[in-house]
Amino acid sequence: MKVTGLLRLSPKVVPLLTTALVLVLLLGGASASFDGFASSYVMADLVSENAFLGIAALGMTLVILSGGIDLSVGSMIGFTTILVATLISDGRWSPVAAWIAALGIGTAFGGAMGMLIQVFRLPAFLVTLAGLFFARGMAFAIKKQSVQINHPMYDRLNDITLPIGGGAELSFGALVFLGMFLVTVLIAHFTRFGRNLYATGGSESSAVLMGLPVARTKIGVYTFSGFCASLAGIVMTLYMDSGNPANAMSLELDAIAVVVIGGTLLTGGIGFVPGTLLGVLIYSTIYQITYFANLPASLARISIGVLLMGFIILQRWLSRAR
């Protein structure tokens, strides 16, 4: 009985369950093989170390659910880190003002790309590719080297942590990530915008015929992704106490990989935001394993590529079987 029940699962849920299974196997295997892996310190690290990747991946999740792609997020993060650091250290701005400016620019930048994609029917990957070049060039136009941030507010914020037992604690960046995660779950799964988003990604022409606001939805997801990328940049400055125009080079690839490993279909319309959180945890766990096993980090990158291929083929197989 149980087996037939499993087989009858909706194909929408299978990738998410596979993601959860992969994470459990990875964590279980690592805890069994390495002393000290199953500790609250490592668990806290899994969320804290890649908080900025996670925030960017949340925005990317909505973009991919709508059937698009955003290649500009890595460059936008790099741009935000150097902008914020320069405004605070050289411009003597208060951090809050610098963050508001950065979030405003990132959101407007995402919105502008969304307009180009929607209004002129340009391919998303070409427009966001131009965005990738543009934001990275502007980052280097601000400053060529790393800029340190020494501001009492940064120290105070970095002191805000959440103890999770055993002496380990979640960093401020991790808390921002988890907060943003709840916001994104709300947007995607509990609002009208979220339902329009799934309809648009499932079949854009049907959504138009149903009279749904497709244009507003598509522009909205790129705007949200731009906001997430700049927020990720701000979290990165908190994590590193500095900004660098070369930061987060090709992070967009990791963000896409994490979203797909999280069970979201790259063709749009199918996926769940919690899957992306699991995807980030899988990503962090693979890197932690190479660290514990003293393996080269390039192996982590290759395994993420293999995992990505596995999930894409699984999705392909599921959509054919339907």
Partner 1 sequence: MTTHDPPWYRRFVDNTIFWPLIALAALLIFNAFSSPSFFDIQVRDGHLYGSLVDVLNRGSIGIILAIGMTLVIATGGVDLSVGSIMAISGAVAALLLTETSLPFPVVIVAALSASLIAGAINGVLVSIVGIQPIVATLILMVSGRGIARYITGEKVIALVDDQFSPAFDFIGNGHFLGLPFTVTLFVLLFVATLLIVRRTAVGLFIEAVGANPNASRAVGIHAHGVKIAVYMFSGLCAGIAGLIDASNINAADTVNAGVFTELDAIFAVVVGGTALSGGRFSLTGSLIGAILLQTLLTTMYTFGVAPDVAPVPKAAVILFVCLLQSDVFRRMVFRRAEA
Instruction: State the minimum distance, in angstroms, from the CB of residue 96 to partner 1.
Output: 28
Binding-site member from 16, 77, 207, 256 for partner 1 (CB under 8 A)? 256
Binding-site member from 137, 163, 166, 167 for partner 1 (CB under 8 A)? 137
CB 80, CB 242: distance < 8 Å = no
Binding to partner 1 (CB under 8 A): which residues in 61-90? 69
Give the CA dihedral 258, 262, 265, 268, nearest 10 degrees: -80
Instruction: State the minimum distance, in angstroms, from the CB of residue 216 to partner 1.
Output: 17
Binding to partner 1 (CB under 8 A): which residues in 182-221? none
Report residue 133 as tokens.
């070049």
Q: DSSP secondary structure string, 230-277?
A: HHHHHHHHHHHSEE-TTTTTTHHHHHHHHHHHTT--TTSS---HHHHH
Report residue 201 as tokens.
């990604």
Instruction: Single out the segment in contact with partner 1 by CB under 8 A; choices: 2-10, 49-57, 102-110, 253-261.
Output: 253-261
CB 20, CB 218: distance < 8 Å = no
293 lies in the site for partner 1, by CB under 8 A: no
130 lies in the site for partner 1, by CB under 8 A: yes
Q: Which is nearer to partner 1, 186 or 302 (CB)?
A: 302
What DSSP state is assigned to residue 126? Answer: H
Binding-site member from 129, 168, 185, 240 for partner 1 (CB under 8 A)? 129
Q: Which is nearer to partner 1, 38 or 309 (CB)?
A: 309
How many Cβ atoms sit within 10 Å of the Cβ of residue 151? Answer: 18
Extract long-range pairs of 300-304: CB within 8 Å, 24+ residues apart.
Answer: 304/254, 304/257, 304/261
Binding-site member from 22, 42, 65, 138 for partner 1 (CB under 8 A)? 138
How many CA atoms lie within 13 Å of 212's alpha carbon, on the beta-carbon side?
21
How many Cβ atoms sit within 10 Å of the Cβ of residue 27? Answer: 20
CB 42, CB 288: distance < 8 Å = yes
Binding-site member from 164, 215, 240, 308 for partner 1 (CB under 8 A)? 308
121 lies in the site for partner 1, by CB under 8 A: yes
108 lies in the site for partner 1, by CB under 8 A: no
126 lies in the site for partner 1, by CB under 8 A: yes
Q: Which residues bind partner 1 (CB under 8 A)?
A: 69, 116, 119-123, 125-127, 129-134, 136-138, 140-141, 144, 245, 249-250, 253-254, 256-257, 266-267, 296-302, 304-306, 308-309, 312-313, 316, 320
